Amino acid sequence: MVTPAVRMFRRVEGLFCVYKPSGVHWKLVRDNIETNLLKGINAAPSQPCPQEIRFLAHPGSDTEAPKGLTLSVASVPVLSKHPLVTGPKFDSIQVGVGHRLDAFSSGVLVLAVGNGNKYLNDLYKTRITRDYTLEGEFGTATDDFSHMGRVVERSTYDHITQDKLNKVLAMLQGANQKALLMYSNVDMRSQEAYEMAVMGLLGPEGKSQPILTGLRCIRFQPPNFTLEVQCLNETQKFLRKVVHEIGLELRSNAVCKGVRRTRDGPFTLQDALTHHHWTVSDVMQAIKQYNSSMKKKKYSKSQTKTSGLQPVEENTPACQQNETNEGAMGAGGIK
């Protein structure tokens, strides 16, 4: 018989995302969520203790001639099945982590519970992109490209303008677009490459070097600036190095003050659960919303394919009707 704890566990199997704060290791986030899920699932109301029939012995009364025992039938609980004897239903839960964030980065962190780990692997096989916002500062260079590293050089930045910054960003994006095509292993002159590009499936096969698919400046207040980045197969260290290289291209220096992931595939900041919502009920609700959104996307795609084929079917009778009208007009002309 399925217990309430098992039913609750089946409802938390799936994919969801949380917001990882800066300064916290991703393992601590995972362990915290795993502990909260275990407490919530094991706190589910347990089923009543099963009963069994037993013959209980009672001492005979003094009035009875033969002294002995009398037996009575009674229903008693099976103590071996009592929750205090069996202990919690679950002692561990498999919580998988998607594309990880280092300790000094923040943002969307995708997690999977139970069978959701299989869906997590399938998700990252589809060459999904991720969005970041990078906080940079001109004028300083450090040994690890972050503002907390050891300063190795200082330089001026008064000559940097937003136009110059945009030109450098466009140059970097163009170089990465060429790398994206090179790692795709598809002939760019083929029909297959065209169809994959139209459907947004053009990307590197398997693991490749980090690639920037989008790069733009959304705030420019020297010495501070903010970049919005879209990328594949990246690491946070690579993104900090990008900020450093941008400073060098502008004949200055730059350090990265913050890395924040705003999107990981279909998961955005609006879907991320904050620390106060890392509970069983909130996780179940997040998984339910993700599953429903995926169903809607699949339905919309099927409707799009159907609507794309529908005009062809509608045009055929129209052509036939035009041919009939032309034939009638021709017959009228002959008359």
pLDDT surpasses 70 at 275: yes
Average the pLDDT over each of 96-100, 206-210, 303-307 and give the range with the smallest value. 303-307
Average pLDDT score, the chain: 84
| Predicted local distance difference test score (pLDDT) of residue 310 | 52
Domain that holds residue 80: 55-84
In a domain, 184, yes or no: yes
**pLDDT over 90 at 49, yes or no:** no
Extract long-range pairs of 120-125: CB within 8 Å, 24+ residues apart. 120/15, 120/96, 123/15, 123/98, 123/265, 123/266, 124/98, 124/99, 124/265
Residue 221 lies in a domain: yes
Residue 144 sits in the same domain as residue 68:
no
What is the model's pTM?
0.79
Same-domain pairing of 65 and 157: no
Verify whether residue 282 is a known catalytic residue: no
Same domain, 72 and 165: no
In terms of average pLDDT, the best of 61-75, 201-215, 244-258 is 244-258
Residue with tokens 């704060």: 21
In a domain? residue 229: yes
Same structural domain, 144 and 211: yes
Residue 224 inside a domain? The answer is yes
H or E element in which residue 232 lies: strand 224-232
CATH number at residue 204: 3.30.2350.10
148 and 260 fall within a common domain: yes
Return left, alpha or beta for 106; rule: phi > 0 is left, psi -120 to 50 is alpha, else beta.
beta
Is position 111 within any domain? no
123 sits in which H/E element = helix 116-124
181 pLDDT more than 80: no
Residues 168 and 64 in one domain: no
Number of structural domains (the chain) is 2
CA-wise closest residue to 236 among 264, 272, 216: 264
Q: Identify the domain boundary among 264, 279, 308.
A: 264
Burial tier of 214 (Cβ tally within 10 Å: 0-12, 13-18, 19+): middle
CA dist 226 and 156 (Å) reads 19
Question: For the residues 274-295, what does the mean pLDDT come to?
Answer: 94
Tell me, yes or no, whether 142 and 63 share the same domain.
Answer: no
Residue 237 lies in a domain: yes
Q: Is residue 286 part of a domain?
A: no
Cα–Cα distances (Å) from 148 to 140, 220, 246, 258, in that order, read 11, 22, 19, 10
Note whether 143 and 210 are same-domain residues: yes
Higher pLDDT, 79 or 235: 235
Phi, psi of 116, rounded to the nearest 5 degrees: -65, -20
Q: Are strands 151-154 and 105-113 parallel, antiparallel or unpaired?
A: unpaired
One domain for residues 191 and 78: no
With 0-12 CB in 10 A as exposed, 13-18 as middle and 19+ as buried, what is 46? middle
* pLDDT tens digits, 219-238: 999 999 999 999 999 999 99
Q: With respect to residue 102, please indicate whether it lies within any of the assigned structural domains.
A: no
Does residue 69 sit in the same domain as residue 161? no
Last residue of a domain, one of 213, 230, 264: 264
Sign of the CA dihedral running 120, 121, 125, 131: positive
Q: What percent of the chain has pLDDT over 70?
A: 81
List the structure tokens of 139: 């004028």
Q: Which of 31, 62, 91, 102 is catalytic?
A: 102
- Alpha-carbon distance 180 to 175, whole Å? 9
Instruction: Clarify whether residues 143 and 235 are in a common domain.
Output: yes
- The domain boundary, picked from 264, 286, 303, lies at 264
**Are the beta carbons of 54 and 76 closer than 8 angstroms?**
yes
Task: Supply the pLDDT for residue 316.
Answer: 43
pLDDT band at 1 (very low <50, low <70, confident <90, very high): low
Peptide bond before 223: cis, by omega within 30 degrees of 0?
A: yes
**Burial annotation 100-120 (CB, 10 A radius, 16+ → b, else e):** ebeebbbbbbbbbbeebbebb
Q: Domain check: are 256 and 156 in the same one?
A: yes
Cβ neighbours around 183 below 10 Å, total: 18
